[in-house]
Amino acid sequence: MLAPAVAFYMWTDAKTTLATSRVELKGDGAHYAGAAVYVNWHKYVPFLCTHFGQRRLSLLMSSAPYLEPVAMWCRWMGLTVIRGAPGERSRESLVRLVEALKRGESVALAADGPAGPGFKAKSGCVDLARAAGVPIIPVGYRSRKGKSHPRRWDQFYKVGKFDHIEVCYGAPIFLRPEENEAAALARVQRGLETLL
């Protein structure tokens, strides 16, 4: 029952942040034209949901009931929300993500989500990119007023109002046919680690 009210508060906060802040895109992958799997650390989910909503991406989100307000907010921000994280082995969500990518749409997911361990890329992004034949693009952001929450497993990072936000895109990572999963995942890990 409270989901719409919570989602509306989040929507208002996000729209105010966008209206009062300067957002700058940086990096090799910022203007990639084709479909891609955009990956980030869970730490950067708050503003990236707003940013990716402007780009009309599909977002993979855990099907946990407590995330319903967040899912509602993400839809209002322009994202197509697909519930069911790879860690839950949701075959249906994977099929829907692959279909979206093959239609030329892009997908975003937290490489270390939904529950960690933090800053360790999981294989779901590699499996998804390989199944759809698209590259993986690491993304993160920084801002002048942003604050991390070091007590959380993901060190959740939130920007402020009247902020200068730099959204940083790494170079697209194209998976090679002969490359095994461990090698591909190591490249994703390095891409995320060296981004900021």
Amino acid at 180: N
**Rounded Cα gap, residues 20 and 10, in angstroms:** 15
Residue 130 CA to residue 16 CA, distance in Å, equals 38
Structural domain of 38: 21-193
31 contact partners, CB below 8 Å, separation of at least 6: 25
* pLDDT tens sequence across 117-167: 999 999 989 999 999 999 999 999 999 999 999 999 999 999 999 999 999
Read off φ and ψ for residue 139, nearest 5 degrees: -140, 145
Whether 52 maps to a domain, the answer reads: yes
Length of the chain: 196
Which secondary structure element, helix H or strand E, spans residue 46, and what is its range? helix 45-54
Domain tally, the chain: 1
In a domain, 94, yes or no: yes
Q: Alpha-carbon distance 8 to 168, whole Å? A: 28
Residue 16 lies in a domain: no
**Distances from the Cα of 132 to the Cα of 97, 106, 121, 127, angstroms:** 9, 11, 19, 9
Q: Is residue 90 part of a domain?
A: yes
Tens digits of residue pLDDT in 86-125: 555 467 788 899 999 999 999 999 999 788 899 999 998 9
pLDDT digits (tens, 9 = 90+) for 165-188: 999 999 999 999 999 999 999 999
Please check whether residue 1 lies inside any domain of the structure.
Answer: no
Domain of 111: which CATH number?
3.40.1130.10
Residue 7 located in a structural domain: no
The 3-state DSSP composition of the chain as helix, strand, coil percent (nearest 5) reads 40, 20, 40
Residue 13 lies in a domain: no
